[in-house]
Amino acid sequence: MRQQYKRILLKLSGEALQGKQNYGIDPDQLKSYAQEIKLVAALGVEVAIVIGGGNIYRGSQADKMGIDRVQGDYMGMLATVINAMAIQSSLESIGVTTRMMSGLRIDQVCEPFIRRRALRHLEKGRVVIFGAGTGNPYFTTDSAASLRAIEIEADVVLKGTRVDGIYTADPEKDPSATRFTSVSFEEVFEKGLNVMDMTAFTLCKENNLPIIVFDMNKPGNLSNLVKGEAVGTLVTMQ
């Protein structure tokens, strides 16, 4: 059994919201994630969420489209805001109290990110959704997840993916790949394992913030994880 967590930062990819679609937001996937998050919040766990925007637009696509990199990154941030709004609405439709905060000022839509206010929302049991990444170009939503987790003093970053942990190789391409139950930050560097981008990963390492990579699409995984069960792959200082 792993330790139980009181405050978590859940990182979801935008692509995860696509479900079986090629683009956009799958309503069934959105509802499924909202239900999983509701179960965790009902346990008394303080939940913050960062979501990507790749199901709508990726900043890395900018160059192919003849768009300036900085402009493209801001477009990507706006895509994350759309996803954050969708998750907020889905959670509230099932009775979960939320607050959405943005790294960019969009006052008609949500609050700006203010650390002390975010902490207060969490203490009051509200699910806090962070949109627009860090609010700066050249930083991924993985980096935003690490940064916000550190700022709100989260116990762990939970990276919800479609695979059940970190493997020696890509399990979707290499059937002989084996899964780690736990691994150290140093081992991830040494073995060149794909966990998060280097900036995000280094932020976690330098602040001794554990990361768990797990399968978000398996019902009950998120709840079991926060209760302390061994779900996914744990990355720690060891």
Q: Which residues of the chain have pLDDT under 50?
A: none
Residue 61 is predicted with a pLDDT of 76
- Per-residue model confidence as pLDDT tens digits over 41-63: 999 999 999 999 999 997 667 87
Domains defined along the chain, listed by start: 7-236 (3.40.1160.10)
pTM for the whole thing? 0.94
The pLDDT assigned to 107 comes to 95
Q: What is the pLDDT of residue 56?
A: 94
pLDDT of residue 194: 85
The token pair that represents 149 in the structure block: 């987790």
- Listed in sequence order, the residues at least 6 apart from 9 whose beta carbon sits closer than 8 Å to its beta carbon are 48, 49, 50, 145, 148, 149, 152, 154, 156, 157, 158
Query: Looking at residue 2, what is its pLDDT?
Result: 66
Q: Which of 146, 142, 115 is nearest to 128 (CA)?
A: 115
The predicted structure's pLDDT at residue 94: 98
